[in-house]
Amino acid sequence: MADFYTHLRALQAERDTDIALFLNPRVAALPLPIQRYDDPFLPYCRAIVDATADLVCAYVLDFASFMAMSAPGARSLERIIGIIGQETLKLLHGPFVGTAYAPMLERTAFDVDCVTLYRPEDVPHYRANAPYAAFQADVDISGQTLSLAPDLALRVTDDRMLLAGLGEDFADQVRAALIAMKESS
């Protein structure tokens, strides 16, 4: 847990941002150029990550959005986590209930840095039995500021951020919206 906080503080200082981009792709809201793919989430998220990696300190990956596409969604989630890499923090937002999900979230599975849980009583189990951070979060965390410690918070983008552009330049439009969000703080 201390490593998560240390890493997050370092990223926030290095990139001069406390923004976490909420990745919750939905087929019906994808830009038209992406909708032609059989498995559209991966090229969509890859373009977004490529365009925004230097502007955010974390990505919040909405588990339900990816699972809405079943197996292709799970593959896209796994691959986009790999594309994000180890430098930028990855939070998997369930929010999960109970302790049975811990094996799915380990480094040999989705390889995330943090997981959101619905019940605060589940947090100690995840923190003690996994190599990542865990915290209790509301069902909908988009557009919220998550206070992780007295001096540490993340501003999570809302659903509208990914809708900034729907044409060929969708990733550039999301980048521009993030720049505007960063400059307004």
Each as own residue / partner, the long-range contacts of residues 125-134 (CB below 8 Å, 24 or more positions apart, any chain) are 125/99, 126/99, 126/102, 127/1, 129/99, 129/102, 130/102, 130/105, 130/106, 131/106, 131/107, 132/4, 132/105, 133/1, 133/4, 133/5
- Provide mean pLDDT across the span 40-69: 96
> Looking at residue 31, what is its pLDDT?
93
- What CATH number corresponds to the domain at position 139? 3.20.20.70
Please write the tens of the pLDDT for every residue from 126-181.
888 666 788 888 788 999 998 888 889 999 999 889 998 889 999 999 999 999 99
> Looking at residue 92, what is its pLDDT?
93
Please write the tens of the pLDDT for every residue from 93-119.
988 899 888 877 776 678 888 889 999
How many domains does the structure of the chain reveal? 1
- The CA distances from residue 101 to 95, 109, 134, 137, 139, in Å, are 11, 11, 12, 16, 16
Within 10 Å of residue 87's Cβ, how many Cβ atoms?
Answer: 10
Percent of the chain with pLDDT over 70: 96
Q: Residue 31 and residue 137: Cα distance in Å, rounded?
A: 29
- Structural domain range at position 57: 2-183
> Looking at residue 130, what is its pLDDT?
64
Please write the tens of the pLDDT for every residue from 18-29.
999 999 999 989
Of the two residues 27 and 2, the one the predictor is more confident about is 27
> Looking at residue 1, what is its pLDDT?
53
> Does residue 183 surpass a pLDDT of 60?
yes
Q: pTM for the complete prediction?
A: 0.93
> Looking at residue 53, what is its pLDDT?
96
